């Protein structure tokens, strides 16, 4: 009997703790890489990560929007060459927000460190396959795709690397 | 008392080993259409791998499968005799040796897992038909799902591209199509 009472008190305490927390209007800040430089990276993410059965699904933590997958607003399905609308500014922005919100504190420290140690970010490790990833190993450190992402994190996106990466054939590693 | 507890725990464990999500997906596809025998021409337009993907209920395991229609119109008839070409990640679009399959009377095509277990992503998927000049090619890659209908269902929307078709309009079909 006393055991049960102790249990109930414990439960009430646990609930009280779980319901407490930061005030409703608290914000966790994030220092992000430059959103204006993001579109070439976003197009690559859409191409390599954003198919509707992968990060083009609303159920994923990292959500990628664009004309090769999930659309937003009034954009019609498919890129222009498939009689749809090319990726819109609104879609670049939505992908940007999803990406920087994954690990705000880590993103902040990578950006403040001028892109040193990008592998602190889970999305970089997953793309490189150094962390378990259903989509497999997609990039190799130092290849065009990797440079596209990490140059943006470092503050000056390498557009040429992004363009080459976008045009590269899809192969297994 | 304890015995009843263990019994309940075992029941719970057994129940949670089934995959309710999978069961719901299968149930959502409904029963067979009357008049269509269970086989290669059944369930056109449905995501074949929901049932043929290895988790049941079908024994036959397919790796890539779907249905092709003649036009983009929602009420388009299926397209028989179309060739579907699929590259996997081990094959370069330029010079690789893709897999091909031809659609049957229901517009269905399929690859059995025993004949092809592709390495993802799939890419440069196209549909061709005698008498139609250019192949209809998909630019997007497929990351993990071998059912065309997982992404290609009607109506077109933010997360679907409508059914797979050969040409936009009936007027673009070659000569004597039904």
Per residue in A127-143, pLDDT tens? 998 888 888 888 889 99
- Give the pLDDT confidence score for residue A21 in this predicted structure: 63
- Give the pLDDT confidence score for residue A2 in this predicted structure: 66
| Nearest residue, CB atoms, A68 vs list B89, B139, B157 | B139
Instruction: Identify the band that residue B134 occupies on the pLDDT scale cut at 50, 70 and 90.
Output: confident
Taking residues A14-40, report their average pLDDT: 76
- Asked if A58 has any chain B CB less than 8 Å from its own CB, the reply is yes
Q: Which residue of A has its CA nearest to B118?
A: A172
Tens digits of residue pLDDT in B140-173: 899 999 999 999 999 888 888 899 999 988 888 8
Cβ–Cβ below 8 Å for B159 and A56: yes
Instruction: Identify the band that residue B139 occupies on the pLDDT scale cut at 50, 70 and 90.
Output: confident
| Distances in whole angstroms, Cα of residue B167 to Cα of each of A48, A80, B71, B79, B176 | 27, 16, 5, 11, 15
Task: For residues B100 and B94, give the distance between their C-alpha atoms in angstroms, rounded to a whole number.
Answer: 16
Which of B63-72, B86-95, B120-129 bottoms out in mean pLDDT, i.e. has the lowest? B86-95
Residues pairing with B100 in the sheet: B85
Query: Using the 8-state DSSP alphabet, how is residue A86 labeled?
Result: P
Q: Can you give the pTM of this predicted structure?
A: 0.83
- Give the pLDDT confidence score for residue B98 in this predicted structure: 94
- Asked if A62 has any chain B CB less than 8 Å from its own CB, the reply is no
The residue among B19, B112, B2 whose CA lies nearest residue B64 is B112
Tens digits of residue pLDDT in B28-49: 998 888 889 899 999 999 999 9
Cβ–Cβ below 8 Å for A170 and B119: no
Tens digits of residue pLDDT in A73-111: 888 888 887 778 899 999 999 999 999 999 999 999 999
pLDDT of residue A10 exceeding 70? no
Task: For residues A116 and A35, give the distance between their C-alpha atoms in angstroms, rounded to a whole number.
Answer: 19
| Token pair belonging to B22 | 């999978």
Cβ–Cβ below 8 Å for A77 and B160: yes
The residue among A167, A159, A161 whose CA lies nearest residue A147 is A161
Q: What are the residue boundaries of the structural domains of chain B, listed by start?
A: 61-172
CA distance A156 to chain B (A): 28
Q: Which residue of A has its CA nearest to B155?
A: A77
Taking residues A59-64, report their average pLDDT: 93
For B130, half-sphere exposure in the C-beta direction (CA atoms, 13 angstrom radius) is 7
CATH class of B61-172: mainly beta
């Amino acid at each position: 009997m006393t055991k049960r009472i102790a249990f109930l008190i414990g439960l009430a305490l646990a609930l009280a703790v779980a319901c407490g927390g930061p005030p409703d209007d608290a914000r966790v800040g994030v220092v992000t890489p430059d959103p204006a430089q993001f579109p070439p990276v976003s197009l690559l993410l859409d191409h390599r990560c954003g198919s509707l059965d992968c990060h083009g699904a609303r159920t994923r933590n990292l959500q990628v929007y664009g004309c090769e997958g999930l659309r937003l607003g009034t954009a019609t399905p498919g890129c222009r060459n498939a009689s749809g609308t090319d990726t819109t500014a609104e879609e670049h922005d939505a992908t940007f927000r999803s990406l920087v919100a994954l690990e705000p504190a880590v993103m902040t420290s990578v950006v403040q460190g001028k892109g040193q140690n990008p592998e602190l970010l889970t999305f970089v490790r997953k793309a490189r396959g150094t962390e378990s990833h259903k989509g497999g190993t997609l990039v190799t450190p130092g290849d065009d795709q990797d440079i596209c992402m990490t140059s943006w994190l470092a503050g000056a996106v390498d557009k040429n690397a992004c363009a080459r990466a976008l045009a590269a054939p899809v192969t297994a590693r | 008392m304890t015995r009843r507890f263990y019994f309940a725990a075992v029941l719970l464990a057994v129940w949670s080993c089934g995959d309710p999500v999978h069961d719901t997906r299968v149930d959502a596809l409904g029963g067979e259409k009357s008049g269509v025998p269970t086989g290669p021409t059944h369930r056109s337009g449905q995501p074949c791998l929901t049932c043929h993907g290895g988790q049941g209920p079908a024994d036959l395991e397919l790796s890539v499968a779907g249905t092709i229609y003649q036009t983009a119109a929602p009420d388009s008839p299926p397209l028989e005799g179309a060739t579907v070409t699929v590259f996997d990640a081990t094959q370069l679009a330029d010079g690789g040796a893709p897999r091909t399959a031809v659609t049957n009377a229901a517009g269905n095509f399929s690859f059995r897992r025993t004949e092809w277990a592709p390495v993802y992503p799939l890419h440069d998927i196209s549909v061709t038909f005698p008498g139609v000049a250019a192949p209809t090619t998909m630019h997007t890659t497929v990351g993990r799902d071998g059912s065309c209908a997982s992404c290609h269902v009607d109506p077109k929307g933010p997360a679907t591209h409508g059914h797979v078709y050969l040409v936009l309009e009936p007027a673009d079909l070659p000569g004597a199509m039904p």
